[in-house]
Amino acid sequence: MSPDKTNLSGQMQNVAQRTDITLSRLFDAEKAKGAAPRLVDAMAYSTLNGGKRVRAFLVVATAAMLLENADIKPNANISEANILNANDQTGLWQVAAAFECLHAYSLIHDDLPAMDDAATRRGRPACHLAFDEATAILAGDALQSLAFQLLAAPSTHPDPGIRAALVLNLAEAAGDAGMAGGQMFDLEAENRVLDRQETAVMQAMKTGALITSSVRAGGQYAGAEAGAGAGAGADVMIHLEHYGKAIGQAFQIADDLLDAEGDESIVGKPLGQDDWRGKSTLVAHLGIDGARLEAKNQVDKARQALAQISAKSPSWQADLDSMAQYIITRNA
């Protein structure tokens, strides 16, 4: 199956618009509750900044693939008035927003002087330069808290068991065995060379964990995990896990390739940083051509896993297939 770039682009735009409106409303609500305006401004600055919303898309597309009659259409008429109507899976957009909040937190902290010391993010000054370092740290902290607040909210899903599963899933992806642990290994790798296996593990934690978690969350929201003790539910979650892990690995390799040979004006951040810092990447281990081949192999694994799922919405399944291929052909 070749990727339907037109349909995928429309779906991604739709999800991004709806997620951004959800986030914007959330930040307005936080201010209305009395949150520090400068803190919320820093949170919004770092979240509503034109990202592709890949993680939100994976949440929404996976759930929509498995749900009956999910009213989630590409290129829908988006407006403040109709964005979260009763038939439009209100809670699902809150899950999508939660993942983007956690992703934004990780980028804010990743850019700090004590971490990667990055000056720009998506073509704009990094949060600690647009505001100040202390505000950036607090904005990241608050975004992380907001992510779990969203997942735990009764409005996210009527089933408290599913809400608890969503919280646990994201917590595991964010913690010492996920993003935070991966970042620690990445920092340590500046002082010693990781072998290929260590590099793959580090990248699976730092980048892959949240991507896999996004896919898993979509399955959880749709109730696939509820019957995961045996039979179809278990099979669906296993296939989603394989899909998520494979595209997570492919995504990181694609990022490393962009750092090595991308266009800085398109990517929106300084390039060549991995080589300058002596970081361990699969590009460093395999070379450009070898890394491209490994990324393609991971995409093939993802597509094979996805094809095993009996989807209630084949069109969304096709979009997830296209997403796997898009991940290694994107230019930013």
Confidence check: pLDDT of 250 > 70 = yes
Where helices occur in the chain by DSSP H, the ranges are: 5-32, 37-47, 54-66, 90-111, 127-130, 133-152, 160-174, 179-188, 196-203, 209-221, 232-261, 264-267, 273-277, 282-307, 314-326
Q: Is the Cβ–Cβ distance between 144 and 101 less than 8 Å?
A: yes
- In the DSSP assignment, the letter for residue 266 is H
Confidence check: pLDDT of 55 > 70 = yes
Three-class SS state of 120: strand
Closest CA to 41 of 120, 135, 113, 134: 135
Confidence check: pLDDT of 1 > 70 = no
Greater confidence (178 vs 81) lies with 178
pLDDT tens-place string over residues 117-158: 999 998 899 999 999 999 999 999 999 999 999 999 999 999
Q: Is the Cβ–Cβ distance between 210 and 147 less than 8 Å?
A: no
Question: What is the sign, positive or negative, of the torsion defined by CA atoms of 265, 269, 273, 274?
Answer: negative
Average confidence (pLDDT) over 13-36? 95
Q: Is the Cβ–Cβ distance between 327 and 251 less than 8 Å?
A: yes
Q: State the chain's mean pLDDT as an integer.
A: 87
- In the DSSP assignment, the letter for residue 224 is G
Which of 35-49, 253-267, 292-306 is the least confident region? Answer: 253-267
What lies within 8 Å, CB to CB, of 311 at 6+ separation is: 65, 66, 317
Confidence check: pLDDT of 261 > 70 = yes
- Cross-strand bridge partners of residue 120: 125
Average confidence (pLDDT) over 250-267? 78
5-325 fold: Farnesyl Diphosphate Synthase (1.10.600)
Q: Which residue has the tokens 């008429």?
A: 77
